Chains A and B, each alone.
Chain A
Amino acid sequence: MKNFLTDKQRKAGRGRLLLSLVILAGLTRPAFSQAAGDPGARSRSDARKPRTVVIDPGHGGIELGAKGKLGTVEKDITLAIALKLKAMIEKNMAFQVVLTRDKDMDVPLESRSAIANNQKADVFISIHTNSSRQKSAEGSETFFLSTGATPDEEIRRLAYLENNSSRIEGHVDKTSEDDVKMILWDMAQTAYIRQSSQLAEIIQAELNSLLGTRNRGIKQAPFKVLTGAACPAVLVEAAFISNPEEEKKLASDAFQASVAEAIYRGLTKYLQLYP
């Protein structure tokens, strides 16, 4: 929905890039260069630790989410899809999966991304079913965060620095440490957005081929649940619960399994890009 970077951000980015080059030029230690070269990815010193995916079934508890005309409630469908996805991952893969809720309960939006940050998640995926005022609205789409819409940036920055500070300390003199941290954070931000868009694109392609729903593409939006995550993060909108035809599909076990399968395949492909 938004341009990738505004002019202002581009200009600010150029300024910071210049500053970062000046500072990086003064550093010859290989460990730091390595850290700076791959700022968005988790430190590979813990590469042997299985990677973690946090799955977020949208809404829950008193937060019903959208409602279909036939009585289907979004929070039930998102949980059903998430549980199927978790079972698939656990059966087939070598990475860890954590759900933000595994039953019908309230989970505040900021707690959902906090779970991802506490778990040092490699990927955060929020699952939703869409709703529109237009009767004819149909199809599936995948969102990632719009740039310039990150009010919880401070939370993400702190989470990032907590997980990465040890890589900086000792390599840089104390006076420039804060500058370097800010530069690394900026680079990580850019990397998260780029990786989120990549993840969204891969998952969207799988939704298109497995669900047979209309391709609404990938989009950027300022979604609260994505603003706090210090890792690549996407929000999947599988079909429209407000459209009775699609509501019937969403209520079926087979369709829910297909949504889970599509996300599962997308995840596998994405994680292969970052071995």
Chain B
Amino acid sequence: MTFLDWFAMHGPSYLDGLAQTVFVALWASLGALLLGIALTLLRLAGGHWGAAFVGGYVQVLRNIPVLLPIYLIYFGLPTLGLFWSAVVCGGIALIMQNAAFITEIFRGSIKAIDRVQFDATRSLGLSPWTTFRRVTLPQLLVYSLPALRNQAVLLLKDTSLLSVITVAEVTMQAKVLTERTASAYHAFLVAAILYLAIVALSEMAFRIAERRVRWR
């Protein structure tokens, strides 16, 4: 049968998967962003130990494949008596991993903020927290937008890995359909097209947002 027929028959499964994919991507991105901000704060204000910890955290998580934290949390938490759902476990892993990359992005962006501005805030007698909140953070986010957009798309694609811990997102649905319908690759082809679509849509949405925020 044609792909359209196939899609019509199994559409609902894919839509469920899509909802799950988007849902996880959204809250994991948000979590990673918040964690990234927190880590950046720690690096800036936490003295030598803070900076060292953040440095170590970033190095470790950037140099291991994302599947390992996923497995570690999913299989490991129950041994500690924590029986959280697969989605939550996967989401936590994605948050931890992406926060490392976001922290690195922020590190680069902070360098881009003119030193002179910090002289100005000091001469104005602003507290470090106010400086961070009113001067550093807004510019940080604006400078980082392109890189953050990139990272968000990577996270979106990484949600496919959650299929290995039985999270019912698009890839998982495709796997199930493959077994159920004994079709060779049709399921994955449709999944691939779906990913292409949401990746393209996300990029577009980000670029529109970027254009409106920049250089106000």
- The finding on whether chains A and B are genuine partners in a shared complex, rather than unrelated, reads no
